[in-house]
Structure 1
């Protein structure tokens, strides 16, 4: 069974802007990226299935991602966006399921990292929306900064019926070497059985121009200690990863960082956890 890349994106700047891609340092990814660009690199890395993840908070993007998934066998699942605070959120999730590719909708995500309120996820209207996500049999992806992890943990505690997947293991501040607060919050979240995490996005949290595998090792080991391989999954975060490295190097780095694991643990991290958590076809 081939590898699963549990986290990547696509975008077409002629369809809509990606307002977060700004500044000279982001120029390497200020262009279009499609599934055909990824397919060759994924095949060479042994990846046979992926999870395509939203990038912007607009209702139009999710149907587009589902349509792409319907056309490409490489995409096993889509994590889309919908307004969790809308009164008709349950109806909207049902509508998305009826669209072309709707059977591949596996989760919902919101850019919590951009919310100024660190308790955003605990708002009553947001929790109501998360209940609808759970009722629809979907997963909720958490894209948060370390200081937002406590609120995310509280939400996961309040909603044991919903599986929460932490993107990029909570975006640890690798570039500055900060450690304790992130690690403590991560371990607390991982005590809840309805949580999992993605070993993804670490090179872009390090110094882009001079990071090493050893810079990432303590953060990887902490994530493994907290979640175990059976609740941790590999993700490339392509094409964002291109700011710091190549797709092939992301895969090779993950393999180096997990070389001490048993065969069954590596199978979980690179394939089985994602297939189980996202119920990939």
Structure 2
């Protein structure tokens, strides 16, 4: 099965979706599965993982409603407040919704560099482990140290690094990010999405070789069995087409075997998120 492990859907609301700035006016509209269905078929993608774009319990219900209507949604990465004293009660409830495979918090929006190793958050991660949920990491450089602390403190929790930690592709800066990736990939419970890359580059003037050093480093550090493909659609449209998002990574997979390619384009995501 070929899987796009990172897609978003929303009914656009200016207040709820205030993160979609005027610079991103292209995606200030509704995006639903019907808008991507034919493109997925054209690119032989069999299904997607829908990832939260709004930090609310309403978001989970919205994605579950979509999944009940559109079979292309094979799994959901939702949202709960992991710092809540009632987090276990909420996770218990979601046991009745098997399409919810894991959760994510928009850490990149948190100014606190220690957010991921505050006691309340760590208790939430422990609850995810107890209930068998995955956790997607969406971070910025200020969170590198607390990410490593969080992962080290939770060896039984499986983590997925979104967007290869958003490296500074536009400036081609490398060393700080590369050092972090080397340390993070040493933890075998962390996997990595090759996703959201074009939007970290110059939206209008990127070239394929702008991504080479970043993708090569991720492959070298994580190996091929812990990597998955994600488009970050529709956000990726800010910097190119859906096919561009595929082409950016396709170009760097020349030494993958047929089995390794099948893993990258779907089987690794199926295993990580327990899709069916």
TM (normalized to structure 2)?
0.97
> How many Å apart are 1:16 and its aligned residue?
6.5
| Cα separation, 1, equivalents of 2:76 and 2:182 | 27
Contact 1:6 1:236 in 2 (8 A): yes
What is residue 7 of structure 1 aligned with on the other side?
6
What is residue 136 of structure 1 aligned with on the other side?
131
Contact 1:230 1:265 in 2 (8 A): yes
| Cα separation, 2, equivalents of 1:266 and 1:21 | 33
What is residue 113 of structure 2 aligned with on the other side?
118
| Cα separation, 2, equivalents of 1:137 and 1:260 | 34
Matches within 5 A, 1:1-281: 2-14=1-13, 17-23=16-22, 25-98=23-96, 102-281=97-276
Q: The residue matched to 1:176 in structure 2 has which SS?
A: coil
| Cα separation, 2, equivalents of 1:256 and 1:128 | 41
Q: The residue matched to 2:57 in structure 1 has which SS?
A: coil
| Cα separation, 1, equivalents of 2:67 and 2:132 | 19
> CA-to-partner distance for each residue in 1:124-176, whole Å, 9 max, x for gaps?
00000111111111100000013312211211110011001000000000001
Root-mean-square deviation (Å): 1.3
Structure 2 residues not aligned, in runs of 5+: none
> CA-to-partner distance for each residue in 1:52-77, whole Å, 9 max, x for gaps?
00012112111111121122211111
Q: The residue matched to 2:3 in structure 1 has which SS?
A: strand
| Cα separation, 1, equivalents of 2:191 and 2:68 | 26
Aligned length: 276
| Cα separation, 2, equivalents of 1:104 and 1:16 | 28
| Cα separation, 1, equivalents of 2:220 and 2:82 | 32
TM (normalized to structure 1)?
0.95
| Cα separation, 1, equivalents of 2:249 and 2:169 | 16
> CA-to-partner distance for each residue in 1:230-267, whole Å, 9 max, x for gaps?
00100000000000010122122221221332212211
> How many Å apart are 1:119 and its aligned residue?
0.8
Structure 1 residues not aligned, in runs of 5+: none
